[in-house]
Structure formats: structure tokens, C-alpha cells
Amino acid sequence: MLDGCDPSGGERPAHRTLPVHAIKCRAVTPGALVPRVVDRLRGPGGQKLLRYSVASVVAVIVSEICLIVFNGVVGMSAWVSSSLATAIAAIPNYYMNRKWAWGKHGRSHLLKEVAPFWGLAFAGWSLSTYSVYLMERYAKHHHFAHVWTTASVAVVYVAAFGVLWIAKFIIFNKLMFVHRHHLEAEDATEVSVARGVRVPG
């Protein structure tokens, strides 16, 4: 039992040198958290996150197949294979996120959508390419078999992109694929509620 805490929800003075004050204990159980998480996932933000995750998985599958083919079958170097794999996978990833995850249609905005997306793709490319380059050097230095070199390069490639996964979602959701009219409607609703005016649904 915690000091200053009454399991029945009441109040009692704290012991020792703590000041006398009222504290109510609220136990948070896993059973109470699950419905909250489910509600969040069912909401608009949760749906975006789920679809963004699916788009990311598709991009990883496409890039991994390309990387293995270019590096393991064709025999290209790790950094060339990583560059080609990233460029190819970025195309379906962009359209899946823009049209499916965030529901935006029409022409893409060059400065607000296309340029930032390819900037993030370039950042991911830089990190992944340097990572696989180091992994390939390490594998050759320690005389890995060809199949293990390819496998280790593929694992490092995915891990490098995973580092940017959360950051990309935040940027997509807050900056790139924002529905301006939705934001204006939300602002109008907040102002009306603050003034005590009921907004028709």
C-alpha cells in the first residue's frame, strides 16, 4: 500500500515527513488499457498508422527483393544495389501513403509533397547505403560465405530504414499529407465550442 493512499478511494493523511493531503489511487490494469488502445486504432489516426504500416511493409518487401536480386544474383555491389532498391520501392510507397493511407487525390504538390518525400527517401537511402557498405566490408573481412553476406546485408538494410519509420509517419501526418479543409473545420468547431455555440453535425 502506498503512503497517503486509501485503496477504498477515500482520503487519509500521509505518513512520515510527507505533508497531509488527499490522494486517490487509481489502478491501471492491462484489461483497462486494451479497450483504449483498440479505440485509438479504430479512430482516424489509428487507421492512418495501420495503412502507413502496410505501405511500409510493401516497400520493405519490394526493396528487399530488389536488393537480393541485384546484390546476390546479379552481383552488384551493396551500395549500388541499395540505391536501386530504395529508388524502386519509393514509388509504390509514395502513392500508397498519399492516396490510401491519407486519402489525398489529385495532382501532387511539388514543394509540399514530392520534394519532402524524396528528401526523406534520400535520407533513408543514405543511412541504408552506408550501413550495408559497412556490413559488406565487415563480411568480406571476416570471410563470410556469399549467402551469409547477402543475408546480413539485407538485415542491416531493413534495420536502417526502421530507424526512420516513426519520424516519417509524424512528418507525413503533420506536414505533408494534411487535409487543409479538415484543419479549418476543426478550428471552427473549437472556436464555436469555446463560445458556447453548437455546431451542426
Residue 85, C-alpha cell as written in the block: 532498391
Residue 195 covered by a domain:
no
What integer pLDDT is reported at residue 191 of this predicted model?
42
Mean pLDDT computed over 176-185:
57
Q: How many CB atoms lie within 10 A of CB 105?
A: 7
pLDDT category at 19 given cuts 50, 70, 90 is low
In a domain, 28, yes or no: no
Look at residue 12 and tell me if it is in a domain.
no
In degrees and rounded to multiples of 5, residue 6 shows phi and psi of -105, 115
Find how far residue 192's CA is from the centre of its chain: 33
Domain of residue 144: give its range: 38-184
pLDDT per position as a tens digit, 75-107? 999 889 989 998 999 999 999 999 998 888 888
Q: What is the pLDDT of residue 32?
A: 62
In a domain, 144, yes or no: yes
Taking Cα atoms as reference points, which of 74, 75, 61, 90 lies closest to residue 154? 61
Q: How confident is the model at residue 194 (pLDDT cuts 50, 70, 90)?
A: very low
- Reported as a single tens digit per residue, the pLDDT across 115-166 is 889 888 888 888 888 999 999 999 999 999 999 999 999 999 888 878 888 8
On whether residue 32 sits in a domain, the answer given is no
Dist CA 80 CA 41 (whole Å): 38
| 32-88 confidence digits (pLDDT tens) | 666 665 666 667 778 888 999 999 999 989 999 999 999 999 999 988 998 999 899
**Residue 167 within a domain:** yes
- The structural domain count of the chain equals 1
**Is 168 within the bounds of a domain?**
yes
